[in-house]
């Protein structure tokens, strides 16, 4: 699953940058937005097996985790590519991998916590 998501994120960013001539940082943001809209619904239903449509608090938490991840991935991308002169593809792959880890952990530990998990943690 992770390899496919990293590959898709990298392809979206590259396609967006090349097709439109957007700078790589702006292409990164557009790619990230597209991926995260999809990610919310896929993670909610399949990864974390949540029922219903979700509440406002859950969506705000997911948005918060996503924004933190966006800042992290963009910072890593700029740092690797612009300052360390790493190739853009390598920079994107590494930043996407880090962002996915942050998204998964934030989603698992904070956003999509099942009520039973919350009760166990407080006992």
Average pLDDT estimate for 53-77: 90
Provide the 8-state DSSP code for 48. Answer: S
List, in sequence order, the alpha helices (H) in the chain: 2-20, 24-42, 56-78, 88-106, 115-122
Average pLDDT estimate for 55-83: 92
Quick check: 96 pLDDT over 50?
A: yes
Cα angle at 64 between 57 and 75, to 5 degrees?
A: 175
Instruction: Summarize pLDDT for 99-118 with one digit per residue, the tens.
Output: 889 988 999 999 988 766 55
Structure tokens at 61: 């938490």
Q: Is the pTM higher than 0.85? A: no
Pairwise pLDDT comparison (1 vs 29), residue with the higher score: 29
Positive or negative torsion for Cα 7, 10, 14, 15: positive
Provide the 8-state DSSP code for 7. Answer: H
122 pLDDT tier (thresholds 50, 70, 90): low
1 pLDDT tier (thresholds 50, 70, 90): very low
Give the integer Cα–Cα distance in Å for 9 and 17. 12
Cα angle at 93 between 79 and 101, to 5 degrees?
A: 90
Neighbours of 36 (CB within 10 A): 20
Instruction: Summarize pLDDT for 46-63 with one digit per residue, the tens.
Output: 888 888 777 889 889 999
Give the integer Cα–Cα distance in Å for 35 and 29. 10
């Amino acid at each position: 699953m992770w390899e496919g998501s990293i590959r898709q994120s990298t392809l979206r960013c590259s396609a967006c940058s090349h097709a439109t001539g957007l700078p790589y940082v702006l292409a990164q943001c557009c790619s990230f937005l597209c991926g995260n809209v999809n990610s919310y619904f896929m993670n909610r239903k399949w990864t974390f097996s949540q029922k219903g449509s979700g509440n406002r608090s859950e969506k705000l938490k997911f948005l918060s985790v996503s924004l933190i991840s966006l800042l992290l991935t963009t910072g890593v991308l700029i740092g690797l590519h612009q300052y360390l002169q790493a190739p853009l593809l390598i920079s994107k792959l590494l930043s996407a991998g880090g962002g996915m880890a942050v998204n998964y952990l934030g989603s698992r530990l904070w956003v999509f916590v099942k009520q039973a998990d919350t009760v166990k943690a407080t006992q």
